[in-house]
Amino acid sequence: MEAQNSPLIPRLLQQMETSPGFAGLGAAVHTITKLVEADDVEIRDLVSTILRDAALTAKLLRIANSSRYGQGGRNVSTINQAIAIVGLKTVKSVALSLALLDALSNKPQSRQLQAEIVAAYFCGTLASEITRLNAPRFNAQEAQVCGLMQSIGRMMTLYYLYDEIERIRAIQTEKNLAEEEAVQEVLGSSFAEIGAAIAAHWNLPDVLQQSMAPVVGKAPPQAPATAIGWHQLCTLFARLVTDSLFRLPENREKVDLARNIEFFRVALGLREQEVHEIVEKALADTETLLSDMAFPCNVEDARNLLRKANERVLDVLSGQDTLTKGSDKLFGKKPVEVIQYTLRQIHDTAGFDRTLLMLPEGASGLRAIAGVGRDINHITAKFRCRGGEQDIFRMVMGKKTDFYIADAKLPSIINFIPVWYRELVDAPSFLLLSLVHHDQVVGLVYGDYSEKQMNSPLKAIKERAPNAREDLLGALLAGAAKK
């Protein structure tokens, strides 16, 4: 495989071998320990608990398939088989050796990794449920393991090569790329290819290895005749659905899901309404599990966090707008490219859910020309102040100042929140940052939070993105958008 020829793969594998790894679910480890110690241990409960953790699942399957257990080439691909072969004491030992969730909490990537674990469990649950309903002749637990392992490349890279992850994010911001494009540029291979290389290095069962990065043509595949063929297609579909729900912008979710259902419809025997029901059930089952475990990240938080990694700045400028043209370049870039980079920089620094750049329109209006964040396609197109009625946006523009609203429902504020804004966004907390040149407001940056945030992000923006305001001003002055 091409990914295995990448210099990154040996480096990652070496770090994984010399470092103890991580436990995806610390609470699951404790549960496993208690189950193993119980006199009347229920194997079904033990299996269910192990399947909640991608790292633990992979470790046990790797041990069960190792030469010291004398399998003679036999593939152990279910946790039931692994437990029977390695024994309960080994299960406990492995679980304890991976109990690093507490240590992980101090790492900068801890929240991201927790969100990835949530997505991995959903993917496994979805693959298992589709197999149970549409292909009962194949092993649903095997499908769950394959689904759970789909993000192992992403998680291991995130844990061990965090500097590369940071480079990916920097390139996304600088070039306004989608995550997939930036990953390919930095790592030279996709996360799926890295996962497949890890599975091969661990000598995991064929069914797992071949499910990691299957090659599927442009034409919809036919119904598979073998278990390996089924798990390849089923877990690929589960991974694509997981990406739709956890990584794509909200406005693309339904279209992307419908496209994937149609593509795999014949091969997996899918019916659209049934798939939607299965997806909702898998989301609910995942949420219930996380709640029962008091896991530090729920489904909604995971989806919001992982979507941010794939956000791009959307602009509503036409090819005729001077901001998009190559003339009057700033820092060697078109003005719109500077806007895209700087807007994303402010967005990430402040941790906003949405960030927009607004320009004056007419005598007293304002309109958004670019944005990044949740549901941004819909929001940017409709974010516009009109009419003669005074509101918070035009008040801030008139005073040429910055203003942070920690609670938009306060009596002193709510009367100045326009109706169009309440219907479109209605964020509980938001920032308005004025861009002023020669005592004239040439733009307004808007950033919001979906949950109330009492502390203003202004200090963080000034400290961590000190040149952002000047760069935006320079870009706007280098080429103002045509009305």
First to last CA, the chain: 52
231-241 confidence digits (pLDDT tens) = 999 999 999 99
pLDDT > 90? residue 276: yes
Residues 177/171, Cβ–Cβ less than 8 Å:
yes
Q: Tell me, what's the pLDDT at 431?
A: 97
Segment among 78-82, 89-93, 187-191 with least mean pLDDT: 89-93
132-183 confidence digits (pLDDT tens) = 999 999 999 889 889 988 988 998 899 889 999 999 988 988 888 888 889 9
Q: 133-171 in b/e burial notation, b at 16+ Cβ within 10 A?
A: ebbeebbbbbbbbbbbbbbbbbbbbbbbbeebbeebbeb
Segment among 48-57, 198-207, 210-219, 305-314 with least mean pLDDT: 48-57
424-465 confidence digits (pLDDT tens) = 999 999 999 999 999 999 999 999 999 999 999 999 999 999
Residues 322/328, Cβ–Cβ less than 8 Å:
yes
pLDDT > 50? residue 80: yes
pLDDT > 80? residue 372: yes
Q: Tell me, what's the pLDDT at 35?
A: 62
The H-assigned helical ranges of 3-53 are 8-18, 26-37, 43-50
Q: Tell me, what's the pLDDT at 291?
A: 79
Q: Count the helix, strand and coil residues of the chain and give each as a percent rounded to the nearest 5.
A: 60, 10, 30
Residue 280: partners with Cβ closer than 8 Å, 6 or more residues away: none
Nearest CA-CA partner of 127 in 3, 209, 220, 242: 242
CB-CB neighbours of 183 under 10 Å: 23
Enclosing H/E stretch for 377: helix 376-382
| 3-state SS class at 370 | strand
18: confidence class by pLDDT, cuts 50, 70, 90:
confident
332-342 confidence digits (pLDDT tens) = 788 888 898 99
Average pLDDT, rounded, for the chain: 85
Furthest-apart CA atoms within the chain: distance in Å: 81
| Sequence ranges of the domains in the chain | 2-22+100-308, 314-478
- 159: Cα separation from own chain's centroid: 15
More confident residue, 432 or 60: 432
Q: Tell me, what DSSP letter sits at residue 297?
A: -
Judging by DSSP bridges, how do beta strands 354-361 and 440-449 pair with one another? antiparallel
483: confidence class by pLDDT, cuts 50, 70, 90:
very low
pLDDT > 50? residue 43: yes
Q: Tell me, what DSSP letter sits at residue 428?
A: S
pLDDT > 90? residue 258: yes
Q: Tell me, what's the pLDDT at 2?
A: 47
Fold classification of 2-22+100-308 is Hypothetical protein af1432 (1.10.3210)
pLDDT > 90? residue 283: yes
Q: Tell me, what's the pLDDT at 9?
A: 84
CA distance 97 to 16: 14
For residue 107, the one-letter residue type is K
Q: Tell me, what's the pLDDT at 81?
A: 85
CA angle 315, 365, 432 (to 5 degrees): 65
The CA dihedral of 111, 113, 114, 118, to the nearest 10 degrees, is: 130
Provide the whole-model pTM.
0.76
The pair phi, psi for residue 375, each rounded to 5°, is 50, 40
The H-assigned helical ranges of 105-249 are 110-134, 140-148, 152-160, 162-175, 179-187, 191-201, 206-212, 227-246
More confident residue, 423 or 96: 423
CA angle 385, 389, 394 (to 5 degrees): 50
CA angle 30, 31, 35 (to 5 degrees): 120
More confident residue, 398 or 51: 398
Q: Tell me, what's the pLDDT at 101?
A: 47
Residue 199: partners with Cβ closer than 8 Å, 6 or more residues away: 58, 149, 152, 208, 209, 212
Paired tokens of 455: 């502390």
Q: Tell me, what's the pLDDT at 59?
A: 75
Looking at the DSSP assignment, which residues form a beta bridge with residue 314? 371
206-249 confidence digits (pLDDT tens) = 888 899 988 888 899 999 999 999 999 999 999 999 999 999 88
CA distance 184 to 178: 10
Residue 15: partners with Cβ closer than 8 Å, 6 or more residues away: 160, 161
pLDDT > 90? residue 250: no
CA distance 426 to 418: 10
For 314-478, the fitting CATH number among 3.30.450.40, 3.30.1360.150, 3.40.50.150, 3.40.50.720 is: 3.30.450.40
For residue 303, the one-letter residue type is R
1: confidence class by pLDDT, cuts 50, 70, 90:
very low
384: confidence class by pLDDT, cuts 50, 70, 90:
very high
pLDDT > 60? residue 21: no
CA distance 355 to 250: 16
pLDDT > 90? residue 420: yes
Q: Tell me, what's the pLDDT at 25?
A: 43
